[in-house]
Structure 1
Amino acid sequence: MKLDHIVHFTHTDPKASSKFWNDQGFHAVTGGSHKDWGTHNALMYGPDYYIEWLTVEDEGIARGSRHPLVEQLRHDDRGFGTICLRSDDLDQLAREIESKGFQTIGPMDAERLTETGEIIRWRLLFVDQPISSALPLPFFIEWEERDEARFAGLKKKGAMTELNESLRLEALIFSVKDPAQREAEWKKLFGESLALENCQLLFEQGDGPERLREVRFESAEREIGFEKGIYRAPCFR
């Protein structure tokens, strides 16, 4: 299974978020608005994943949306929220997950309106669990477009450059109270290995809320802190 994207909750406007990362030498873009959720985002693509900096655009809509991800955003406020894994068939995946004893929410339709007026569509599947300081299980996405067409479109629009294609991930590091327990729970959900096709998932013991603590790129040489999140990133020469 592949990582699709990392969700990082912020208080920063998407234009300011993308500027921050561009000033660091990356190539980030504003994404658009989720009109039914009251949120909007900035995005930075890797070769087969992306990072989403998500913030509230309309508090009234966000408060009434009852969407699992928006509820977590309003609970967490800032910092890494969760990760999303990519699937080609959410209906089949939902049946598989429920056969393992989990309850699911969805699949549900979703869309984003870009600044150019384009509507991007996908479907989401969540594990039904309370929003708390405990580590949330990943959620799952099925895109309307196939990966090849989607990434070709991103390149054509300039959202994805040669720099983005070089940004491979080494690991996502989660801070949890009981690493063995969390590893067992995640393995039960999606398989016996925590090595995704495009990155490693590591669980380390830590205090405080259980969340993703660090995003580590390959060839990391520096640490970048942003909105309570740590990125270990390469230097661009």
Structure 2
Amino acid sequence: MNLKLDHFVHYINNLSEFKYPGELFTLYNGGRHERFGTFNRLAYISNAYIELLDVYNKETLLKLSKTDEGRVAFPSKLVQDNYKQGLKTLAFSTDDIDYLKLELESKGVDIIGPVKMNRVDAKGKKTEWQLLYINELDEKVKPPFFIQWDEPDEVREKKLAPYRQNEFTVKRVCIGCENRKITAAKWRQWFEMLVVNDDEHVTQLQLPNDNVIYEFYNSDNPRYEKIVLHDSKTTASYTLIIRGLHYRCEAD
């Protein structure tokens, strides 16, 4: 299916005033999603980026969250969680979103999309992409959604290269679940993931074409709890809890 981690969606209240402690990650202005009433700022690291998301028009977001598309769209999780800060979901990139839709539907997965999207930055430059969503509302942990950018990977990467902090690399995503066996089994089937480890405490999965590990465990507070990164510039590991999300940065 040629899926890879593309980015995280971390909801931050009052994003315009936010800075990472110690300016851990450099933030760049993204733009507005007029369709959702949201805006973002972006932190680029070596193998993904972190999208910090906030709302400038709650009425627009609330109205959209009541539609079929809106119920599964990534910003709707903000409404569903009553605007509690934290990591809400993540996106896998694909190079053929139409084929991906057919593959998932052949597995009995209910799909919404592709949906054409865009954002406009402060200079009026438009960035366009397509999104695909899994219509799975029973899980408290929102499944990943899928993104296909409307420009070739090599062109996009050339543009992003100057902004990436390559000392940071995502290693693991830690996910608390109501029933980790069920959630992990769904991800494994849907995304054709490989089993890295499965014991009495955790299940670890990996996409065939990506090195990031997805770690599932039972929790009374189901959520995307932690991202674990390698920091090539530190000599000692450290953890920062930032607006509902644990950032664990590990040394060599």
Do the structures match in fold with TM over 0.5? Answer: yes
**Structure 1 gap ranges (5+):** none
Distance 2:93 2:206 in 1: 14
Pick from 143, 163, 177 the counterpart of residue 137 of structure 1: 143
**Size of the alignment, in residue pairs?**
225
Name the counterpart of 1:127: 134
CA RMSD, aligned part only?
A: 1.8
Match of 1:117 among 112, 124, 128: 124
Q: Once the 2 structures are TM-superposed, how far is the Cα of residue 173 of structure 1 from its aligned partner?
A: 0.3
The whole-number CA distance in structure 2 between the counterparts of 1:192 and 1:28 is: 32
Offset of residue 28 of structure 1: 1.7
- CA–CA distance in structure 1, aligned partners of residues 37 and 13 of structure 2: 14
- Distance of 2:21 and 2:159 partners within structure 1: 21
Equivalent residue number for residue 102 of structure 2:
95
Q: Does the CA-based 8 Å contact 1:222-1:232 persist in structure 2?
A: yes
Kindly indicate whether the alpha-carbon contact (under 8 Å) linking 1:22 and 1:28 is maintained by their aligned counterparts in 2: no
C-alpha deviation, 1:134, in angstroms: 1.6
1:222 aligns with 2:238: yes
In the alignment, is the contact (CA less than 8 A) between 2:40 and 2:54 conserved in 1?
yes
Sequence identity percentage? 28
- Structure 2 unaligned segments of length 5 or more: list them: 195-204
Normalised by the size of structure 1, how large is the TM-score? 0.88
Pairs within 5 Å for 1:12-91: 12-13=14-15, 15-17=16-18, 20-21=19-20, 23-66=22-65, 67=70, 68-76=73-81, 77=83, 78-91=85-98
Question: Residue 5 of structure 1 contacts residue 83 of structure 1 at CA under 8 Å; is this kept in 2?
Answer: yes
Contact 1:3 1:198 in 2 (8 A): no
Q: Does residue 176 of structure 1 match 2:199?
A: no
Cα deviation digits, residues 43-69 of structure 1 (max 9, x gap): 111123111111111112112223222
**Counterpart residue type for residue 221 of structure 1:** S
Contact 2:228 2:250 in 1 (8 A): no
Match of 1:152 among 145, 151, 158: 158
3-state SS of the aligned residue for 1:93?
Answer: helix
Once the two structures are TM-superposed, the CA of residue 27 in structure 1 deviates from its matched residue by: 1.6
Query: For 2:113, what is the secondary structure of its paired residue?
Result: strand
Question: Which is worse superposed, 216-225 or 197-206?
Answer: 216-225
* Moved segments of 4+, more than 4 Å: none
Equivalents in 2 of 1:227, 1:2: separation in Å?
26
Instruction: Sort the Cα spacing of 1:118 and 1:214 in 2 relative to 1 into closer, same or farther, 3 A.
Output: same
- Equivalent residues of 2:47, 2:170 under 8 A apart: no
CA distance in 2: counterparts of 1:103 and 1:173, whole angstroms: 25
